[in-house]
Amino acid sequence: MKKIECKYMDIFISKDLFEGLMMDYASNEDDIVYNLEQRVEFVINNEELFEKYIKAFSRFEARGRVAALYAEEDCTVRGEPAFLDGKRLKRVQGWIDKNDVEYGCLIILWHGSAHGPNDVKSDRSLVLTEDGASFRMYSPMAKEVIDAYTIDYHLKQLRKRVKANPNFS
């Protein structure tokens, strides 16, 4: 697994997929990193209410960095979403569990698809996945999946919680 450290985020991608992208697009490493970083920023900034929720949650939890897993799609391990890391299949939930405490938001992106995994959860970090033309996000604070239909409600609840916390400035 290749970890690419950018200014505000870390991107995790298998070395094979990264090298494949460089060959497919006849690009150098910097161009591929820039394109991956832009895709993650697009996902975060695409829907204003999700962006606001992520920023408020990250400040509240005092963990502002983002981690993105960019993986090949359509892999499963015992019926669970998985990704190919070189020659081994690994569970997406395992990657989430490993990075849960370190980041404010974990983003799962599939190479070549706009549908992220379902049924992923975390204890401390938000988990944002694509859902066709929209997004869905698991929030450990709300203890449920937030989608475009419920984001307004959950953003209001988060703001109330932030306002009620005397230690939050």
Q: Model confidence over 27-62: pLDDT tens digits?
A: 788 888 898 899 888 888 878 898 899 988 887 776
Question: Which residue in the block uniquely carries the two structure tokens 């992220």?
Answer: 116
What does the pLDDT read at residue 169? Answer: 46
Q: For the sheet containing 80-85, what is the strand order?
A: 75-77, 80-85, 88-91
User: Checking DSSP bridges between strand 105-111 and strand 66-72, what pairing results, if any?
Assistant: parallel
Question: Which residue in the block uniquely carries the two structure tokens 């995790």?
Answer: 12
Q: Kindly tell me if the per-residue pLDDT of 18 is higher than 70.
A: yes
pTM score: 0.88
Q: How many CA atoms lie within 13 A of 90 on its CB side?
A: 19
Of residues 115 and 96, more confidently modeled: 96
What does the pLDDT read at residue 166? Answer: 64
